[in-house]
Chain A
Amino acid sequence: MNKRLIFVLAGFSLLACNFLFPQKASPTLNPEISSSENEQILELAELTIVRLHRQAGDLQAMLATESKKAAALGQVPVVEFDATWCPPCLAIDSAIESRNELILSAYRGIYIIKLDVDEWGWSNSGVQNFNFDAIPVYFKLDAEGNQTGEVIDGGAWGEDIPENIAPVMDEFFYSGK
């Protein structure tokens, strides 16, 4: 009799826990190429990540819009080209998703605008004014969505670990500020 009561109470406790502390769907930084809507993938206190889709409109107009949103948040707009098949790109996404302190510290105050190369193409296939030959690659934008000329790719750090990435990106993001 006591055992049955314990089982019933345990069941109720589990239900109550789920109700009181619902599990949030973990954000994924992987793109959905078929989408026609731009996505806000992640918004932490001082880091925003959005992904732009080709079907959603003109790239330069969207970059201008996103840069204004970044300015309103007091964040620096940065375009990142990535791809689902790129292990180094995934390494950075994973570090952000797992809330790696070094990476989050380096990316503090940044507004990442992700563009998938399989959707937008490489620099030689029509992505206006963006010149690159490897990913991940980051382009700083000004408040109007234009490139500032500051660019960095994964070649700037060695092995893809937060200890290597964080200081390099921190310097890149905050240089000239």
Chain B
Amino acid sequence: MKLHSLFILPFLCVLAACGRSSTAAQGISLSLASFTENYVDVSIHLEGSVGEGYILSATFTPPDGYHLYSKDIPLNGVEGLGRPTLLELTEYSQLHALGMLTESVKTMEPNFEPKELLVYPSGTVTLSLPVELPARDAWLDDTVKITFMACSASTCKPPVTGMIVPIRVPGAGVYK
């Protein structure tokens, strides 16, 4: 019995070590929030690892046949038309942006004026923001700001501007 335990114990230790290194290599993939607002499904994720850094992302899925507007158009639209698609950290967020917001699909010119009112193709868009986690060993309450508006070729749903979404994020020490 004792001899048997002697063999099993190192085996379990090796397994545990493998598990830990596997987690570190795979990193994290957390769903921070998920909701539907004005007919658009929105989900907010945090992905990454200690070595590679972390990406905060928001995925927007409008109804079939609807499109969203470029993240790069002004907050008040182009000549007042449209609203940008945005994922922003709030003023007192404990996350720090490490780069620019990027988009999962390319924008295109609309087939109406003004042509500067760039739109994404109909369907899902994901915006991603590289972030630094707060230097803490615990989970923290935080918020992000979401903006979007969905239109089809002939109709628009109500816009959502600067909606504050509560999230809970891990401190950097949680995954060290």
| Chain A residues at the B interface, C-beta cutoff of 8 Å | 83-91, 117, 122, 133-137, 153-160, 164-165
Contacts and interface: CB of A to CB of B under 8 A. Distances in A.
Contacts of B39: 133
B154 A158 contact: yes
A98 B166 CA distance: 47
Interface residues of B, number: 21
Contact of B80 (A85, A137, A165): A85
A88 B117 CA distance: 13
25 contacts: A85-B76, A85-B77, A85-B80, A85-B156, A87-B81, A87-B82, A87-B110, A87-B117, A87-B151, A88-B151, A88-B152, A88-B154, A88-B155, A134-B155, A134-B156, A135-B155, A153-B155, A155-B155, A156-B154, A158-B154, A159-B111, A159-B154, A160-B112, A160-B153, A164-B154
Contact of B157 (A91, A133, A157, A158): A133
**Interface-centre pick from A85, A136, A154, A159 (highest chain B CB count, 10 A):** A85
Contacts of B81: 84-87, 90
A89 B153 contact: no
Contacts of B154: 88, 154-160, 164-165
A115 B117 CA distance: 24
B53 interface: no
Contacts of A84: 80-81
A164 B155 CA distance: 13
Interface of B: 39, 76-77, 80-83, 110-112, 117, 149, 151-159
Contacts of B83: 85
A88 B80 contact: no
Nearest to A92: B154
Contacts of B156: 83, 85-89, 134-135, 154
Contacts of B151: 86-88
Nearest to B76: A85
Q: Give 9 closest A-B pairs by Cβ, nearest first.
A: A154-B155, A154-B154, A134-B155, A86-B156, A159-B153, A160-B154, A88-B154, A84-B80, A87-B81
B41 to A, nearest CB: 15
Given A117-B158, A122-B158, A158 B80 contact: no
Given A85-B81, A85-B83, A87-B117, A155 B152 contact: yes
A156 B156 CA distance: 13
Contacts of B158: 117, 122, 133
A117 B39 CA distance: 17
Contacts of A153: 155
